[in-house]
A and B are shown apart, each in its own frame.
Chain A
Amino acid sequence: DAKTTQPPSMDCAEGRAANLPCNHSTISGNEYVYWYRQIHSQGPQYIIHGLKNNETNEMASLIITEDRKSSTLILPHATLRDTAVYYCIVSLANNYGQNFVFGPGTRLSVLP
């Protein structure tokens, strides 16, 4: 079973920030939080990951609570192309041995 809980769906107006929550209350100290998205029938696309600190890249920001039991992915200015299923995953970060356990994710619809 996935170690994360996400809302099944969310809507966001184009141009506004999309804030996607994820609960991971059983995360262990050496597990990272990863975010991926999947646009219809394509392979999942890596967005961002983090351990404790907030992270930002050209795609998104990741806010992790101090107790690490939840996180939020922020798309600062959502566009129609951001419509996708977003997956939050917790996993060790090494080059072998770990597999990603995907839940059903959050289906984000960006509305014009």
Chain B
Amino acid sequence: ETGVTQSPTHLIKTRGQQVTLRCSSQSGHNTVSWYQQALGQGPQFIFQYYREEENGRGNFPPRFSGLQFPNYSSELNVNALELDDSALYLCASTVGGTQYFGPGTRLLVL
């Protein structure tokens, strides 16, 4: 067990809608990263939060945004959903340089 949980496990949305995905990690895990994994590919880095501030971003447009809260939970928000946003979304908390991943949320955009 990594101590990282994500909700929901599965989600179906339609193109143009907005979605919020949630992640919760253990107390003291100050860094959370979000990744997108399309089918058959490795995870791709979206962004990272450290102590509630964005601390690095991958090649994703601004409609991908996030929040980190003092209680070690975080959110990934995606606006104006596109069909290509269908993927497994993973969050990971960092301890001692090692990232521990949650089980992921599978998003399907129709």
Interface residues of A (CB under 8 A from B): 2, 32, 34, 36, 41-46, 49, 87, 91-105
B42 within 8 A of A: yes
B26 within 8 A of A: no
Contacts A87-B42, A96-B31, A101-B45 given; indicate if A41 touches B97 (C-beta within 8 A).
no
B60 to chain A, nearest CB (A): 12
Chain A residues touching B, majority SS: loop
Tell me which of A41, A46, A97, A104 contacts B98 (CB under 8 A): A46
A92 to B73, CA, bound (A): 24
Count residues of B near A (Cβ-Cβ below 8 Å): 31
The interface residues of chain B lying within 8 Å CB-to-CB of A2 are 42
Tell me which of B31, B44, B56, B90 contacts A44 (CB under 8 A): B90
A46 to B94, CA, bound (A): 11
Give 17 pairs: A residue, B residue, CB < 8 Å, sorted on A.
A41-B88, A43-B2, A43-B4, A44-B43, A45-B101, A46-B100, A49-B98, A87-B42, A91-B97, A93-B97, A96-B48, A97-B55, A98-B97, A100-B43, A100-B92, A101-B45, A102-B44
Q: Which of B59-109 contact A (CB under 8 A)?
A: 88, 90, 92, 94-104, 106
